[in-house]
Structure 1
């Protein structure tokens, strides 16, 4: 059987010349990567409306254009003067991309970051505010552009100056942490309900493959199931089960498109009692069967 595109979009994929045509616009090593221009890569990596799991953490700045994206079920808009921080193992789905869209991006795993005592630094950062997108002032935007320009210039040297890049990244991440903290102090825009909803979505993204009971999530949040349902509905116009089902479908779509697992194996992976139950569930939510999604005519 021909091997499909790997489930995780990781650094090794960007090194594939069948996927990325112009490698002069990117630098790839086992634990770190830099994309100088997403548009100029002419990558065939990502297709609209298909979910992908992002293996390493990502930090990106938007150069021009815009993109509408679902990140772990939540829609975001990427546009100029935005700083993006995407935590490892997030599921990303492009909804719409403008023809002129371009961005710069760094990707790294935890082994590359020389930070003592913060093994999960990306998750730590993402919990500082409601979104993983920071709006930048013109001055802040220029500062981050300078970070990216300096790293790219250093990466053009014949020898990979690993320690220099590592510590520039640490500085970049702590600067993001500073801005995220500062935004929280100056903008009291996250209500108690919004905070609960964000924590709930984070739990769903973590546990939905095994836990599909409202009581489980309510207990995790120290709330009653009824109150959790009320908060989630008010914050999103959807129920707790709506979000759980969407998360399961997202996981199923990733496995159907980007793994070699058969339908019955995916059913087991997602903890359904049997393949028939999984197929009926998938069709009820999406309108098509898993096989039809996996192999459209």
Structure 2
């Protein structure tokens, strides 16, 4: 049996779709991609309510309409003027897209960036270890869009000016860093409980495949399990186990749809005691058996 590719939505997939690689709306290479108009793309890149793991980092700027999306378990509604910097290996799931949604987006492999260390998409933004999503002030929207326009215009040249694009992308990232710093300085600061919740969600996204004990996450955060339970419930109206279970289901869905692993192998991968336990858990959480989910279009 031919082995499927890893559970990732990346530039390789975009290149294999039945679309023109370099036309008036998109430009795609093995380590850099640019979509100049989402609304004019003729190929559907993802299915609703289906999680995907992004292989490369993304920079997206919403021009019009809105996108309701789940990013690493948390739901966001991205509206006009929103800039999003998404790190590699982030899990995204589209919930709802307005018919008039239009956005500009870049996909950037770590190795494309002209920086010394390529281990992290945001290695040059050390104070922002997670994804960045915020609405740009009106005057900054014009500046950011000018970056996209300049990069797109240079991509139209007959010869790919790789180094020029690399440094323009790096400059764009630094500019977004400056805007984010100023925006955060004037915005409402997170409460202590909100900070705990964000750190907790980050831990869940990292460890949920193996760690499902409340004490594990409490120890990581230097809190008592009881206090952590209280904070998470008050902040999100969900329990610690609710979030852990949602993370496990995301991983299960990705493996069921985008890998050649059999159900019993996925059960092992997600550290269930046996396949029967995994199947019952999956059906309780989704209303479908793993096999039914695999066949769902």
Range into which the TM-score falls when normalised by the shorter chain:
over 0.9
- Give the CA deviation at 1:141: 0.4
**Distance in 2 between residues matched to 1:126 and 1:282, nearest whole Å:** 37
**Distance in 2 between residues matched to 1:163 and 1:131, nearest whole Å:** 25
Q: Deviations over 1:196-241 (max 9, x none)?
A: 1011101111111111111111111111111111111111000111
TM-score, scaled relative to structure 2: 0.93
Asked if 1:65 is matched to 2:71, the reply is no
SS at match of 2:33: strand
SS at match of 1:171: helix
Asked if 1:106 is matched to 2:87, the reply is no
SS at match of 2:151: helix
Q: Structure 2, unaligned stretches of length 5 or more?
A: none
Alignment of 1:245-260 (within 5 A): 245-260=245-260
What residue is the counterpart of 2:266 in the other structure? 266
- Give the CA deviation at 1:59: 0.3
- Give the CA deviation at 1:116: 3.0
Alignment of 1:128-167 (within 5 A): 128=128, 132-167=132-167
Between stretches 249-258 and 126-135, larger displacement belongs to 126-135
Asked if 1:282 is matched to 2:282, the reply is yes
What residue is the counterpart of 1:74 in the other structure? 74
Count of residue pairs the alignment pairs up: 296
Residue pair 2:21, 2:28 contacting (<8 A) in 1 also:
no
Asked if 1:221 is matched to 2:204, the reply is no
- Give the CA deviation at 1:175: 1.2
SS at match of 2:16: coil
Asked if 1:208 is matched to 2:208, the reply is yes
- Give the CA deviation at 1:287: 1.9
Residue pair 1:17, 1:23 contacting (<8 A) in 2 also:
no
What residue is the counterpart of 1:194 in the other structure? 194
- Give the CA deviation at 1:17: 3.6
Residue pair 1:151, 1:165 contacting (<8 A) in 2 also:
yes
**Distance in 2 between residues matched to 1:234 and 1:268, nearest whole Å:** 33
Q: Structure 1, unaligned stretches of length 5 or more?
A: none
SS at match of 1:128: coil
Q: Deviations over 1:112-156 (max 9, x none)?
A: 111235742437759639962111122100111000000001111
Residue pair 2:87, 2:130 contacting (<8 A) in 1 also:
no
What residue is the counterpart of 1:231 in the other structure? 231
SS at match of 2:159: coil
What residue is the counterpart of 1:26 in the other structure? 26
SS at match of 2:115: coil
Residue pair 1:129, 1:180 contacting (<8 A) in 2 also:
no
Between stretches 112-121 and 268-277, larger displacement belongs to 112-121
What residue is the counterpart of 2:293 in the other structure? 293
**Distance in 1 between residues matched to 2:22 and 2:63, nearest whole Å:** 19
Q: Deviations over 1:57-84 (max 9, x none)?
A: 0001012111100011100111111101
Residue pair 2:86, 2:132 contacting (<8 A) in 1 also:
yes
SS at match of 1:8: coil
